[in-house]
Structure 1
Amino acid sequence: MRILMVALAASMLAGCAGSVMDDSRTKAPTQTLTSDKPEKVVAQCVQFAWQDEAVFGVDAGAYLQPGKKSGSTVYTRSAESFVDLTTGVTGTELSYYAQRDDFVAKRRLAALATCL
């Protein structure tokens, strides 16, 4: 019964995050970046960097999933910040989205930049 409750809660959160991400993708990204590194390596690095409790405290959750069309997406709880990563001609292309322009969003962008 507990497993069923956890699975239901996780699917509900994923649905909410998905609609927030879809809405954000209709607008221009907060920041667009590129990297020479492979997409999977950058995605794993961003996920790890965003999970640093010393930097983000108790809100240090970061999740990695396949991208909407291709590549990968790394996102935080409620998709307050997320990054779409795709393989481009010159390397990995990153589109960073933040729901708010605040200190935490800037800190997540800085952590992301360390993975380039």
Structure 2
Amino acid sequence: MRMLISVMSLAMLAGCVSPAMDTARSQAPTRVLASEKATALVAECIKFSWQDESVFGVDASAYINNDKAGKQTVYTRGAESFADLTPQGTGTAVSYYAQQPGDAAAMRRLAMLATCL
């Protein structure tokens, strides 16, 4: 039962942030990066680093969404920052989006993302 509630909560959260992500994707990404690592490894690393409470405080949240084509999105609550990860050969192409690109938290998230490449 507890697992069902968690899954339903996560699904509702994903539905709420999707319009914000679609709006952001209609513009150029804040930064485009590449990695030689597999997409799943990069996604897990970004999620883990964005959940670091010592860096982001109580707002240290991160989630992963997978689509059928192998693309993954790592995003924060409210999609204030998110990264689209697309498999590219044996590596990964990363598009980072931030609602407030010059914001200190957005810059920290970008720096944490860069350590995962």
Q: Same fold (TM over 0.5)?
A: yes
Q: Which runs of 5+ in 2 are unaligned?
A: none
Q: Please, what TM-score do these two structures have when normalized by structure 1?
A: 0.88
Deviates more, 1:9-18 or 1:78-87: 9-18
- Report the TM-score, using the length of structure 2 for normalisation: 0.87
Offset of 1:6 from its aligned partner? 6.9
1:32 aligns with 32
- Once the 2 structures are TM-superposed, how far is the Cα of residue 90 of structure 1 from its aligned partner? 5.9
Corresponding residue number in structure 1 for 2:115: 114
For the pair 1:56 / 2:56, whether they are aligned, the reply is yes
- The worse-fitting range, judged by mean Cα deviation, of 49-58 and 86-95 is 86-95
Shift of 1:4: 8.5
Q: Show structure 1 runs of 5+ residues with no match.
A: none
What is the aligned-residue identity percentage?
A: 56
Root mean square deviation of aligned Cα: 2.3
- Aligned partners of 1:76, 1:113: CA distance in 2, in Å? 16
| Alpha-carbon separation, structure 2, partners of 1:52 and 1:35 | 22
CA distance in 1, matches of 2:47, 2:105: 15
Q: How many residues align structurally?
A: 116
Separation in structure 1 between the aligned mates of residue 35 and residue 53 of structure 2, nearest angstrom: 25
Match of 2:106 in 1: 105
1:35 and 1:56, CA in 2 relative to 1: closer, same or farther beyond 3 A? same
